Amino acid sequence: METFFEYNRYLHIAAGVVGFFVAPVALAMRKGGAAHRRWGRVFFWAMAVAGTTAIAGAQHIHSLFLLLTAVFSLYMAGFGYRSIFLKQLAWNACVAPFDWAVAGVGLVVFAGTVAYAFAAGNIPVGVFGGLGALTAARQLRGYAKAGHWAKNQWLLNHISGFMAGYIAAVSAFSVTSLRFIPFPYNFLWPTALGLPIIWWWQRRVRAGRATIAPGSGLSASPAPAPHK
């Protein structure tokens, strides 16, 4: 069993390093271009592996913070990836049961996380739980308004989900490895740096200033003509 957890740790570190360096590359590429899609997929799967191995590792070292951070990071990366396939919700009110279920379970899990953090006085856990609960609640509200989304809402979700997952992963690394940074700054600095970048990108998208590759499909898709 110890051998399993040792290999799990190595795999977690390798996936984390890949995700750490690939995310800025994907963000810098022209949105929707071949390079952006390629590095975005690499980042997503690196986050999936890092998050899954973190959950297994957290059980071994009995780290609740690592466990909840891994859950949050996986959820946000999945939210960002899944949003690519939800462009049609700008004109189609049909939401898959899978999407309802994921958001509903996420809301319950993160609300429970907030309750635990409040009872235990655990600030880092409470922050991630609160952000996760807010995201899941906004997802459910968005699904209830499907068919009336802004045409670029899916792209805003894509950006915020992937970047929030990246912030969470960096926060976990900072707390567990950068021990020279005192608490709570070791936990807060990735969020303090990352949130303004998310807001900046979202403002560019809303203003139509984001660099989009021609023919990439990242531009707002027009609603199909109604059948007569």
Distance of CA 197 to the CA centre of its chain: 14
Q: What is the pLDDT of residues 83-106, one digit of tens each?
A: 999 999 999 999 999 999 999 999
**219, pLDDT greater than 60:** no
pTM of the model: 0.84
pLDDT in tens, 21-41: 999 898 888 777 888 899 999
The DSSP call for residue 99 is H
Report which secondary-structure segment, H or E, holds 178.
none
Please report the pLDDT score of residue 140 as a whole number.
Answer: 96
Would you say residue 149 has pLDDT above 60?
A: yes
Q: Read off the pLDDT band of 157 (50, 70, 90).
A: very high
Neighbour-count burial of 132, counting CB atoms closer than 10 A to its CB (0-12 exposed, 13-18 middle, 19+ buried) = buried
Residue 142 contacts residue 153 (beta carbons within 8 Å) = yes
Could you tell me the two tokens for 77?
Answer: 């990366």
DSSP secondary structure of 59-71: HHHT-HHHHHHHH
Tell me what the pLDDT averaged over the chain comes to: 86
More confident residue, 49 or 220: 49
Q: Is 228 exposed, middle or buried (0-12, 13-18, 19+ CB in 10 A)?
A: exposed
